[in-house]
C-alpha cells in the first residue's frame, strides 16, 4: 500500500514529541543543536528580529508613558501660566512631552521675530498680527511632524517583522521537509528515525517565526493607536495655543487703542 508523504510526515510529527532524537534528547534545544546550517541561520535571524522588536517595544512603552505623564504636568502649567517666558522656562524640564515641545517651538518663533508679548507693544510689531500667527502656526506644524517622526521611529521594524517573520519561519519549514525527503532517499527507508529530525527542525522554525511575528504585530497596532492619540493631542493643543495667542494680541491692541484715545483727548483738553 502506498502511503501519502503528508500523512507520513503528520504521523512522524505527532510521534516526535514522545520519541527521542536519534542523537540524544528530544527537547527544543537538542533540536536546534542538531539542526542543519540553513535552519540554524534562519533561527538566528528570527532570534535577532525578536530581540530587536522587544527592545523597541520596551523603548516605546517608556517613551509614551513619560510623554503622557509630562504632558499632563505641562497642561497644568499651561493653565496656570502667568506669562509665556516663565512657561517656556518651566517647559524645558519636560523633555519628553510632545505638548511642551510644540509650545517651545511656537514660543521660539515668537522670540526669533523679536515679538515678545511681555515687553513689546502693538506699535512695536513691524508685521501684521495675523502674519505673526501664521508664522507661528507654520512653525508648530513643522514641530508636529518632527514629533510624529520621533514617536514613529523604529516602528517600521515591528511592521516588517510582523509581516515577514512567518514567511522566514515557513522557509525553514520547507527546508526541513526537504531535508527529510533527502534523508529518506539517501537511506532508502521511511521510518520515524529518518523523518523525525527534519520535521522537528521544520516545526521549530515555524514556531520561532510566529513567536517573533505575533508580539511585533500586537505592539505595532498598539503603538500606532497611541501615536494617533498623540497627534490628536498636539492638534488640539496647537489650536488652543493659537487661539489664546490671538486673544492676547487682540486684547493688547484694544488696550493700546484705548490708551491712545485717552492721551489724544487729554492733549486736546
**Cα–Cα dist 152/116, whole Å:** 34
* 154-174 tens-digit pLDDT: 999 999 999 999 999 999 888
Cβ neighbours of 55 (radius 10 Å) = 12
Report the predicted TM-score, pTM, of the whole model to 2 decimal places.
Answer: 0.75
Q: What's the chain's average pLDDT?
A: 79
The pairs formed by 218-223 with CB atoms below 8 angstroms and a separation of 24 or more are 219/53, 219/56, 219/57, 219/60, 219/158, 220/155, 220/158, 220/159, 220/162, 223/60, 223/64, 223/151, 223/155, 223/158
pLDDT tier, 17 (very low <50, low <70, confident <90, very high otherwise): very low
Cβ atoms 67, 96 nearer than 8 A:
yes
Q: What is the pLDDT of residues 72-121, one digit of tens each?
A: 999 999 988 778 888 999 999 999 999 999 999 999 988 877 644 544 54
Per-residue pLDDT tens over the stretch 188-215: 666 666 666 667 777 888 999 999 999 9
What would the mean pLDDT of 134-163 be, rounded to a whole number? 94
Grid cell listed for 127 = 508685521
Cα Rg of the chain (Å, integer): 32
Supply the pLDDT for residue 249.
Answer: 75
pLDDT tens readout for residues 245-267: 888 777 765 554 445 444 444 44
60-95 in b/e form (b: 16+ CB < 10 A) is beebbeebbebbebbbebbeeeeebbebbebbeebe
Give residue-wise pLDDT tens across range 40-71.
889 899 999 999 999 999 999 999 999 999 99
Cell for 102? 510644540
Question: In this predicted structure, what is the pLDDT of residue 218?
Answer: 97
Q: Choose between 72 and 4: higher pLDDT.
A: 72
Amino acid at each position: 500500500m502506498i502511503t501519502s508523504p503528508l500523512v507520513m510526515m503528520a504521523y512522524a510529527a505527532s510521534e516526535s514529541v514522545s520519541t527521542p532524537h536519534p542523537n540524544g534528547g528530544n527537547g527544543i534545544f537538542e533540536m536546534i543543536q542538531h539542526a542543519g546550517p540553513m535552519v540554524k541561520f534562519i533561527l538566528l535571524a528570527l532570534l535577532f528580529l525578536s530581540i530587536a522588536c522587544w527592545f523597541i517595544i520596551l523603548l516605546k512603552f517608556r517613551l509614551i508613558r513619560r510623554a503622557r505623564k509630562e504632558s499632563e504636568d505641562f497642561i497644568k502649567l499651561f493653565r496656570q501660566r502667568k506669562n509665556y517666558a516663565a512657561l517656556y522656562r518651566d517647559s524645558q524640564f519636560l523633555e519628553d512631552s510632545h505638548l511642551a515641545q510644540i509650545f517651545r517651538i511656537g514660543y521660539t518663533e515668537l522670540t526669533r521675530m523679536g515679538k515678545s508679548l511681555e515687553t513689546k507693544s502693538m506699535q512695536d510689531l513691524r508685521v501684521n498680527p495675523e502674519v505673526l500667527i501664521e508664522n507661528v502656526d507654520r512653525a508648530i506644524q513643522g514641530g508636529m511632524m518632527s514629533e510624529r517622526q520621533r514617536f514613529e521611529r523604529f516602528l517600521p521594524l515591528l511592521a516588517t517583522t510582523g509581516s515577514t517573520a512567518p514567511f522566514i519561519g515557513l522557509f525553514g519549514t520547507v527546508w526541513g521537509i526537504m531535508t527529510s525527503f533527502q534523508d529518506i532517499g539517501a537511506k532508502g527507508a521511511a521510518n520515524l528515525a529518518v523523518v523525525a529530525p527534519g520535521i522537528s527542525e521544520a516545526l521549530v522554525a515555524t514556531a520561532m517565526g510566529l513567536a517573533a511575528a505575533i508580539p511585533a504585530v500586537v505592539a505595532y497596532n498598539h503603538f500606532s493607536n497611541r501615536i494617533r492619540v498623540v497627534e490628536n493631542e498636539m492638534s488640539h493643543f496647537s489650536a488652543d495655543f493659537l487661539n489664546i495667542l490671538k486673544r492676547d494680541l487682540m486684547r493688547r491692541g484694544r488696550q493700546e487703542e484705548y490708551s491712545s484715545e485717552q492721551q489724544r483727548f487729554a492733549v486736546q483738553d
